[in-house]
Amino acid sequence: MSGTRALLVLMVFLAALPGWAGQQKQQPAGTARSEQQGNGATNQASAEEDIEVGTFYMHKGDTDAAIPRFQDAIGKQPNLGKPRILLAEAYEKKGDNINAVKSYEEYLRAFPHAPDKKKIEKKIEKLSSH
């Protein structure tokens, strides 16, 4: 079973590498150009992949690997709340209360009417008191 698990981990890692196994196919000039100009659908898919891989690392307990994936997702799709919350949770799990608070506050600035606002404010208060 551990061999199967190792193979699965390796496959996820390799799938996350840009350009691995022919991921970057030759495209017509117009398609490549639109992606270079910031194709929203491409950025959204890429951001969702970063979230998925970051979440995988979080479940493994590897917050140091998860954090940059969530940061990348935020950079690609700043209008998504999920990677902002996951980033704050990763910092919190790591014991980095300063960056956790900062990330939660950035989430609330980006989404001032978030449905979980009160819960996040309580987390900020709790983390700030430590």
Candidates 121, 109, 114, 64; CA nearest to 87 is 64
Q: Is 18 a domain residue?
A: no
- For residue 91, the model assigns a pLDDT of 98
Instruction: Give the total number of structural domains in the chain.
Output: 1
Cβ atoms 107, 116 nearer than 8 A: no
Over residues 50-76, mean pLDDT: 97
Output 117 or 15, whichever has higher pLDDT. 117
Q: Is 3 a domain residue?
A: no
Q: What is the CATH number of the domain that holds 82?
A: 1.25.40.10
Q: Which residues contact 119 (CB under 8 A, 6 or more apart)?
A: none
Q: Is 109 a domain residue?
A: yes
- For residue 5, the model assigns a pLDDT of 54
Q: Average pLDDT, whole number, for the chain?
A: 79
Compute the CA torsion angle 10, 27, 70, 17 (nearest 10 deg): 20
Q: Is 28 a domain residue?
A: no
- For residue 34, the model assigns a pLDDT of 35
Q: Is 60 a domain residue?
A: yes
Q: Is 87 a domain residue?
A: yes
Each residue's pLDDT tens digit, 29-48: 333 333 334 566 788 789 99
Continuous H helices in 37-96: 40-60, 63-76, 82-94
Q: Is 9 a domain residue?
A: no
pTM for the whole structure: 0.68
Q: Which domain holds residue 60?
A: 47-130
Q: Is 70 a domain residue?
A: yes
